[in-house]
Structures are given as structure tokens and as C-alpha cells.
Chains A and B, each alone.
Chain A
């Protein structure tokens, strides 16, 4: 099976712009989660989607949003970019109904730099 894929791998944007990141889960996986990793805050949960529904959201401002399509592919969007949004954004997929009881598989990440 192919692993989790994320595009693009690297991205440079300027403050005020918006960005869309994409994640394709492992075939058959219906749960997709997004995480932000920064040197100061570590790995933080953004949100999780299952069958096109957002099931849980972390403590991030409304500028961070996401969606999931019927083929389980997911996108996250960050509007009005700030310098502090520079981070590695990681996507994870799992197969079962309950995120917390299943193995998470991570993609290679998208490294976003905001200038």
C-alpha cells in the first residue's frame, strides 16, 4: 500500500496570504488528522476528519480550517498568514472509527515558511 502523501512538500508565502495544503491518506483509511510542529510548541493537534465530518478541533484560531472529500483526501487552509504560522504541517491517517484506539500513519509533512 502507498503511504500517506502530502503536497506540496515546501512552501514559501508572505504575511497576509493564504495557503492550502493537501493530504492523501492510505487507501481505505477514512480518518485524517492534521498537526502543526514548531520548535517552540512541539506537535500540536489541529483537527481530525472522518467521513467528511470534522470530529475534533484543537486550540487554533479560525484562520485554520480544513475539509475532507468523499475519497478521504483532506485539505487544510490557513488564511491571513502570520509569521508564527511557519511550521511543519503533518497529516496522519488511520483506519478505525476511533482515532485514539488506532495506529496513526504520518505523511512526510509540508514545510511552510511565512516571510
Chain B
């Protein structure tokens, strides 16, 4: 299967700070999604981004498929951004591979 590595594993930020989360993957993919898992366990879709750049409010993401990595940018972080961020990828098979996540804590 595809190996997915996320960094950093843990991140603590002051409210208002910016951050960059990284996702590296071991094989070519045609599906990449970023999720935010809230404290109740719900995985919330942030981006479907197998390539290119997308922005949604304070969040943006870039995937460079040829170099097998994706970045998630969070600007002007808020306490509600706290939680675990997952990157997940898929290729030709019918399976989705998840990274181990980045745990983000935003302090007021």
C-alpha cells in the first residue's frame, strides 16, 4: 500500500499564528484529501486536492503530485482550529490510505 507521512506530529500555536502542515506519500496518487477530526471524532472534509492549489477562507492547500507531497496552510489560527488534521490518499485501487495525523492545539 501507499505510505503516508505527516509532519509535524504535534503543533501548539498561539491564537492568530500561521502554520503549515505537510503530507508526504510514497507513490503516485489520483486522490488526496485533507480532513479535520473534531474532538467528537467526526472527520470533516477540508479539501479534495490531488493536484494544484485551493483556498477556502483561512485555509489553503497545495499538492505537488510529481514530488509526492501536499501542504495545508492555516492562517490566523483560532481555538476552533484545534484537533487532528489528516491527509488521505488513493490511487488506482479501491482503498484510501491515511497518514498518522498532525495534532494541533491553538492556545487563546
Chain A residues with CB under 8 Å of chain B are 33, 35, 37, 42-45, 48, 50, 55-56, 58, 88, 90, 92, 98-109, 111
Contact = CB atoms under 8 A, between A and B. Distances in A.
A109 B39 CA distance: 12
Q: Which of B31, B45, B48, B97 has the most CB of A within 10 A?
A: B31
B73 interface: no
Nearest to A33: B96
Contacts of B101: 42
11 contacts: A33-B96, A37-B41, A48-B95, A50-B94, A90-B41, A100-B31, A100-B91, A100-B94, A106-B45, A108-B40, A109-B42
Given A42-B98, A42-B101, A100 B92 contact: yes
A111 to B, nearest CB: 7
A98 B98 contact: no
Given A100-B30, A104-B33, A45 B96 contact: yes
